[in-house]
Amino acid sequence: MPAFDSRFARRFVRPTGALELMEDLGSAGPGVHMLGGGNPARIPAVEAVYRRRLAEIAGDTAQFGRFVASYPAPGGDVPFRATVAEFLAARYGWPLTERNVVLTSGSQSAFFTLFNLLAGESAAVRPRRILLPLAPEYIGYADLGLTDGMLVAQAAAIEELPDGFFKYHVRFDGLEAVPDVAAICVSRPTNPSGNVLSLDELQRLDALARNRRVPLLVDAAYGQPFPGIQFTAPGLLWNENVILCLSLSKLGLPATRTGIVITAFNATAALAPGSTGPVIVEPLLASGELDALCREVIGPYYRSRADAAVEWLRNDCRDLPLRIHRPEGAFFLWLWFPGLPVTSQELYVRLKARGVLVLSGHHFFPGLADSWAHRNECLRINCSQDPASVRTGIRLIAEEVRRAFAA
């Protein structure tokens, strides 16, 4: 084993929340209830469409060539980029061409590039940072920076709702004063909470970013226009100050590693990413079939899975102080147990010992400096996997939480 002692190695060969998550994904065998991880569901009606596309590609010399037999342009497969631009222009009226669309090997790698292009050490006196205006926020942003301290976050305001639900809102009052900001970034719908920022909140963040002369990054990996796992707050925002990031992963194609970045600046200097996802999806997007699939199959599928999981949780946790973030999109439920006597990390360990994999909520507050009890009282569960397994997992979560409160 060589000694990895470069600066890069010290940053990237170390335990992180994302690594723990990926290792859990790898260790999930039979008998393990997989409520962790971010895998999308395997929906037969959706996979049937992709299988059909694969047969079409196999029988077509031109498509097969684009699929695996030729290097794409540096910014990614051009016909797909043109189709994405046309689709967004037709749907939202944005003035886009393929030059505004750049593909990356998964949107995760887009964030790595964007964060490090925008923030970190520079000629400025102090390193500039990415502002996450609503924490909790996506775990995957946490360890992308080539330098430490690249993220700064602001804790969300909590609105208690009827029926044991709650909802996060952006606290705008503190945001203007945050120093050394290079960009503002939000996931919408938000992983982990399933929160969907209203269009008004998005517009206010856009105005704030413009005032500060920094871009607004909007990560719509779960949202509109595809895969459309968004149950509220329709509408999306793009202008020359917004960098919109989309992905094919949550459409059920995570292994194609396809991220899509919509920007006003020409970013085609990126390394050529793979074309398999683009070639599968391109005619589906052009014909409207993908849109119908999102609207009629994918969105309703995840909605019904969230509804079922909420009902099971309510049923099993009647005697416990459970609050659930109102599910507005994505496919996670974000559970909050106010006053939880053990940390959520300890609860994660206990649940793992009982064969239930979840994610401890504390991972989802990257860049948040203050100690907020809330960050150790939450769990994220993926409710989109095998229903019987999710059902059992929820029963075991209730048992372990009950035991913690009884101790």
Residue 260, H or E segment: strand 258-262
Question: DSSP secondary structure string, 120-162?
Answer: BSSSSSS-BEEEEEEES--GGGTT--SSTT-EEEEEPEEEE-G
- Work out whether 77 is an interface residue with ligand PLP (CB under 6 A): no
247 binds ligand PLP (CB under 6 A): yes
Helices (H), 247-355: 276-287, 289-293, 299-316, 344-353
Sketch the per residue contact string, 338 through 367, with ligand PLP: x for CB under 6 A, - otherwise: ------------------------------
233 φ, ψ to 5°? 45, 65
Per CB under 6 A, the segment of 150-158, 247-255, 270-278, 305-313 that binds ligand PLP is: 247-255
- Residues in region 189-218 near ligand PLP by CB under 6 A: 191
The single residue among 83, 100, 187, 360 that binds ligand PLP, judged by CB under 6 A, is 187
Distance CA 129, CA 149 (A): 7
Give the shortest CB-222-to-ligand PLP separation in angstroms.
7
Q: Which residues inside 285-304 make contact with ligand PLP, applying CB under 6 A?
A: none
Choosing from 75, 79, 259, 274, the residue that interacts with ligand PLP (CB under 6 A) is 259
Is residue 151 close enough to count as binding ligand PLP by CB under 6 A? no
The CB-based long-range contact list for 2-10 (8 Å cut-off, 24+ gap) reads 8/146
- Of 131, 141, 67, nearest in space to 107 by CA: 141
Q: How far apart are CA 308 and CA 305, in angstroms?
A: 5
> Measuring CA to CA, which residue among 347, 332, 334, 335 is closest to residue 402?
347
Measured at CB, which residue is nearest to ligand PLP? 106
Q: Which is nearer to ligand PLP, 106 or 120 (CB)?
A: 106
Could you tell me the smallest distance in angstroms from the CB atom of residue 38 to ligand PLP? 4
Residue 18 CB, nearest approach to ligand PLP (Å): 10
Examine residue 230 and tell whether it contacts ligand PLP (CB under 6 A): no
Vertex 237 angle, CA 384 and 38, to 5°: 20
> How near is the Cβ of 189 to ligand PLP at its closest, in Å?
8
Q: Which is nearer to ligand PLP, 133 or 396 (CB)?
A: 133
Find all residues with CB under 8 Å of 325, minimum gap 6, and list them: 165, 166, 167, 168, 193, 194, 195, 333, 334, 336
Are 314 and 24 in contact by the 8 Å Cβ rule? The answer is no
Torsion-angle region of 137 (φ positive above 0: left; ψ -120 to 50: alpha; else: beta):
beta
**Does residue 80 bind ligand PLP (CB under 6 A)?**
no
From residue 128 to residue 147, what is the string marking binding to ligand PLP with x (rule CB under 6 A)? ----------x-x-------
Q: Under rule CB under 6 A, which residues in 29-58 are in contact with ligand PLP?
A: 38
Beta carbon of residue 219, minimum distance to ligand PLP (angstroms, whole number): 5
Nearer to ligand PLP, 37 or 321 (CB): 37
Contact characters 97-126, ligand PLP, x per CB under 6 A: ---------xxx------------------
Q: How far is the CB of 380 from ligand PLP (least distance, A)?
A: 10
Site for ligand PLP in 156-175 (CB under 6 A): none
Q: Does 277 bind ligand PLP (CB under 6 A)?
A: no
CB closer to ligand PLP, 188 vs 362: 188
Task: Check: CB of residue 211 under 8 Å from CB of residue 198.
Answer: no
The reply to whether 254 sits near ligand PLP by the rule CB under 6 A is: yes
Sign of CA dihedral 294, 297, 298, 303: positive
For residue 158, give every residue at least 6 positions away whose Cβ sits within 8 Å of its Cβ, in sequence order, or none. 166, 167, 168, 169, 374
Contact footprint for ligand PLP (CB under 6 A): 38, 106-108, 138, 140, 187, 191, 219, 221, 247, 249, 254, 259
